[in-house]
C-alpha cells in the first residue's frame, strides 16, 4: 500500500472516530437531560451562569462587577449543572471566570473571551444606552492594522495597532491623530479588545459626535517588541522599571521615561511619514489610563506644545515609591514651569470615586488649580476598571479637534 492510500485510510478512521465520539457525547447529554446555557442575560439585567461539572466539589464566579477578592457561589443541581444568578447589572461590558475546585477557567458555553496581559476571561455585554457606544452597531466601520516599526530609541522592532476611520482607504483626506496608551499589564491589544476603542470611534463618528481620526494604540512596555502572544523570546525585563523595581534612582527614572521618549522620537515620526495626517499640535492628541496616564503626563509635560489635547484616565501625581521619583523629578517641575504658558485646548481628567489612584488624581487637580489651569474633570462611580476607561474615551473623543 502506498503512502497516499495509508494517509487516506488514517484520515477516514479519524473522521469516523470523530463522528462516533460526537454522537456518543450528544447521546449522553440527551440521556442525562443536560442543556447548559451560559451566560443568560435576564429581563431585569441580572445574569445566570451555568457550568456542567458533575464531579466538581466547588464552583464560583469571579467577575469584574464585584469587588476584588469577592466571588459568587454557584450551587450544584441534580443534573450536575452548577448555577448562580447575579443581581441586576448596569449596562456595560463585563468579564468573568469560573473557579472550579480552585482553578480559574473560561465559560465553555460562551464563545466570547478576551485577553488582558497573561489572563484570559469570558465576556458579556449588558445592553442599554450606556453600552450602545461600544456595541458592534450597523454603522460604517474603520480598520485596525497591526503595524511593525523600528524603534532606534528602544533598539527593537516593535508593533502597534493603528485605527483608520471609515473612508480612509478611499480618500485623500488628511486626519488628526489620537495616541492612546494602555495600562500596566496590558499591551497594544488592550484598547481594542478590552477598551473597544475602534467600536467607540465607529459609533461616535457615525453619529457625528466625533471627528474622523486616526488612533494609534502602542505597546507601552519598553522591553517588549509586541504582545505576549507574539513573543519569540522572553523580553529583557531589566530594561524597564516599574513599582517595586530595583536599581538606583536615575535608572528607575530612565526606565520610566524610555517609552515616552520612544513615542516622541519613533512612533510619531513613523505615523506622520506613513499615514495621511495633519501634522501639527492642534491635530495631535494623547490619552492614557493608569500606567499609560503616567506616560501621557511625562510625554506631554516634557514636550509642551506637542499636543493640544491631553487625557489623563485614573492616575495623577503620586508619591508612593517609585512614582515619587517621577512626580518630584519630572511632573511637578514640568507643571510648575509650563502650566502658566501652556495654551492647550483640552486637559481632561477622569477617575472613579473608588479608584485606588483617587488621591493622586486630586493632587493633580490641585496642581492644575494652583496655576489657574482649566481642565475637564469626569468623576464616575466605581474604581480602576475598563468599565470606566471606556466611559472616559467615549467622553474624551467627541471633545477633540474642535
SS3 assignment for the chain:
CCHHHHHHHHHHHHHHHHHHHHHHHHHHHHHHCCCCCCCEECCCCCEEEEEECCCCCCEEEEECCCCCCCCEECEECCCCEEEEECCCCCCCEEEEEEEECCEEECCCCCCCEEEECCEEEEEEECCCHHHHCCCCCCCCCCEEEEEEEEECCCCEEEEEEEEECCCHHHCCCCECEEEEECCCCCCCCHHHHCCCHHHHHHHHHHCCCCCCCEEEECCCCCCCCCCHHHCCCCCCHHHCCCCCCCCCHHHHHHHHHHHHHHHHHHHHHHHHHHCCECCCHHHEEEEEECHHHHHHHHHHHHCCCCCCEEEEECCCCCCCCCHHHHHHHHHHHHHHHHCCCCCCCEEEEEEECCCCCHHHHHHHHHHHHHCCCCCEEEEECCCCCHHHHHHHHHHHHHHCCC
Question: Do the first three CATH levels of 40-131 and 133-399 match, i.e. the same topology?
Answer: no
237-243 contacts at long range (C-beta below 8 A, 24 or more positions apart): 239/154, 241/322, 242/184, 242/291, 242/322, 243/320, 243/321, 243/322, 243/323
**What is the pLDDT, as a whole number, of residue 232?**
77
Of 263, 239, 258, 242, the C-alpha closest to 325 is 242
pLDDT at 14: 43
- C-alpha cell of residue 193: 479588545
For residue 277, list its beta bridge partners. Answer: 175
Domain 40-131 in CATH 3.30.110.40? The answer is no
Cα–Cα distance between 179 and 193 in angstroms, integer?
A: 16
- Contact between 94 and 126 under an 8 Å Cβ cutoff? The reply is yes
Per the omega criterion (within 30 degrees of 0), is the bond before 326 cis? no
pLDDT at site 268: 98
Mean pLDDT by 10 residues, the chain (402 residues): 48 44 40 78 98 97 92 96 97 97 97 94 96 97 98 97 97 97 96 97 98 98 94 71 60 92 98 98 98 97 96 96 91 95 95 97 98 97 96 98 95
pTM of the model: 0.88
Which pLDDT belongs to residue 239?
Answer: 56
Distance CA 180, CA 217 (A): 5
Domain ranges of the chain: 40-131, 133-399
What value, to the nearest 5°, has the Cα angle with vertex 140 and ends 139 and 145?
A: 130
Cβ contact 130:91 at 8 Å: yes
Q: Which three cell numbers stand for residue 148?
A: 511593525
The pLDDT value recorded for residue 215 is 98
Give the β-pairing of 309-313 and 346-352.
parallel
Decide yes or no: CATH 2.40.40.20 for domain 133-399.
no
Which cell numbers hold the place of 26? 450528544
Amino acid at each position: 500500500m502506498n503512502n497516499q492510500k495509508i494517509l487516506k485510510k488514517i484520515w477516514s478512521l479519524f473522521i469516523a472516530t470523530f463522528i462516533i465520539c460526537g454522537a456518543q457525547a450528544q447521546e449522553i447529554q440527551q440521556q442525562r437531560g443536560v442543556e447548559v446555557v451560559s451566560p443568560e442575560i435576564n429581563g431585569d439585567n441580572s445574569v445566570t451562569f451555568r457550568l456542567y461539572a458533575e464531579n466538581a466539589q466547588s464552583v464560583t464566579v469571579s467577575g469584574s462587577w464585584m469587588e476584588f477578592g469577592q466571588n459568587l457561589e454557584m450551587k450544584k443541581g441534580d443534573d450536575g449543572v452548577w448555577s448562580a444568578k447575579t443581581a441586576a447589572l448596569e449596562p456595560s461590558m463585563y468579564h468573568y471566570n469560573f473557579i472550579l475546585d480552585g482553578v480559574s477557567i473560561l465559560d465553555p458555553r460562551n464563545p466570547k473571551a478576551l485577553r488582558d496581559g497573561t489572563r484570559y476571561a469570558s465576556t458579556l455585554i449588558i445592553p442599554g444606552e450606556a453600552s450602545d457606544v461600544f456595541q458592534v452597531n450597523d454603522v460604517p466601520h474603520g480598520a485596525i492594522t497591526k503595524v511593525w516599526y523600528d524603534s532606534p530609541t528602544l533598539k527593537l522592532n516593535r508593533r502597534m495597532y493603528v485605527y483608520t476611520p471609515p473612508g480612509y482607504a478611499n480618500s485623500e483626506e488628511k486626519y488628526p491623530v489620537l495616541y492612546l496608551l494602555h495600562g500596566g499589564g496590558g499591551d497594544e491589544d488592550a484598547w481594542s479588545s478590552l477598551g473597544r476603542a475602534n467600536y467607540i470611534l465607529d459609533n461616535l463618528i457615525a453619529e457625528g459626535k466625533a471627528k474622523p481620526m486616526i488612533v494609534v494604540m502602542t505597546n507601552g512596555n519598553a522591553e517588549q517588541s509586541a504582545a505576549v502572544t507574539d513573543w519569540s523570546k522572553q523580553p529583557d525585563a531589566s530594561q524597564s522599571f516599574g513599582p517595586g523595581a530595583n536599581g538606583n534612582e536615575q535608572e528607575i527614572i530612565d526606565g520610566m521615561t524610555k517609552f515616552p521618549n520612544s513615542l516622541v522620537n519613533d512612533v510619531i515620526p513613523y505615523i506622520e511619514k506613513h499615514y495621511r495626517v495633519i501634522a501639527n499640535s492642534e491635530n495631535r492628541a494623547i490619552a492614557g489610563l493608569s500606567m499609560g496616564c503616567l506616560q501621557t503626563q511625562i510625554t506631554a509635560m516634557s514636550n509642551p506644545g506637542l499636543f493640544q489635547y491631553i487625557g489623563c484616565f485614573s492616575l495623577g501625581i503620586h508619591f508612593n515609591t517609585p512614582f515619587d521619583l517621577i512626580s518630584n523629578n519630572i511632573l511637578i517641575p514640568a507643571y510648575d514651569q509650563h502650566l502658566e504658558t501652556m495654551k492647550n485646548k483640552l486637559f481632561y481628567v477622569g477617575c472613579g470615586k473608588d479608584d485606588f489612584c483617587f488621591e493622586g488624581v486630586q493632587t493633580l487637580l490641585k496642581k492644575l488649580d494652583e496655576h489657574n489651569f482649566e481642565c475637564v474633570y469626569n468623576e464616575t462611580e466605581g474604581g480602576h476598571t475598563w468599565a470606566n476607561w471606556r466611559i472616559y474615551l467615549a467622553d474624551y473623543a467627541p471633545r477633540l479637534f474642535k
